[in-house]
Chains A and B, each alone.
Chain A
Amino acid sequence: ILNVEQSPQSLHVQEGDSTNFTCSFPSSNFYALHWYRWETAKSPEALFVMTLNGDEKKKGRISATLNTKEGYSYLYIKGSQPEDSATYLCASYFGNEKLTFGTGTRLTIIP
């Protein structure tokens, strides 16, 4: 069984603060990791796809890193804004035609 775990499950952050959360996955047979941003009542929106150990991706105030040897990825948000409130979902691909999803980190930004 391939488990992808995210921590924490939920997080409340003051507006303007920076934050980060973790996605852990089995390092064997790993091909790729995908981060999604998922707002309530909408569909998951693609943020980053990462495949190589040491990958770093950035989009505005959001960035992500990947460590395939130890099996984790971090998502960072710098200077949180209310519009960052969402569930952040990671999914790993192990070469079996399917993504394995974590259960997400629900982020709430407090104005």
Chain B
Amino acid sequence: NAGVTQTPKFQVLKTGQSMTLQCAQDMNHNSMYWYRQDPGMGLRLIYYSASEGTTDKGEVPNGYNVSRLNKREFSLRLESAAPSQTSVYFCASCIRPYEQYFGPGTRLTVT
């Protein structure tokens, strides 16, 4: 099993550009999550999906959209990137919400 995979690993965008971060898991988990990690801020939840077909906002959803494409895949889209969205993005999945397993992260820089 690959666990939770994320693509790309690194990305540089110009302000105003759009992009989609991809996440996939092969553990048959129901729930999937997107976090961002910024220095001194810990992990902050952007969006989550408790099951296929549902998505909900987390702590910092502004400027992002998500799609739960199927049970395996959960994508995060930045429609118009801003420098404040420079961060490391982690995807996670779980059967039980308190046992989340994380992907390797995507390091995004917006210039």
Residues of A within 8 A of B (CB): 31-34, 42-46, 49, 51, 89, 91-93, 97-99, 101-104
Contact = CB atoms under 8 A, between A and B. Distances in A.
A104 to B, nearest CB: 6
A93 to B, nearest CB: 4
A34 B98 contact: yes
Interface of B: 31, 33, 40-43, 45, 48, 50, 56, 58, 90, 96-105
A102 B68 CA distance: 27
A44 B99 CA distance: 12
16 contacts: A31-B98, A32-B98, A34-B99, A43-B90, A43-B105, A44-B43, A44-B90, A49-B99, A91-B98, A93-B97, A98-B45, A98-B48, A98-B58, A98-B97, A99-B98, A99-B100
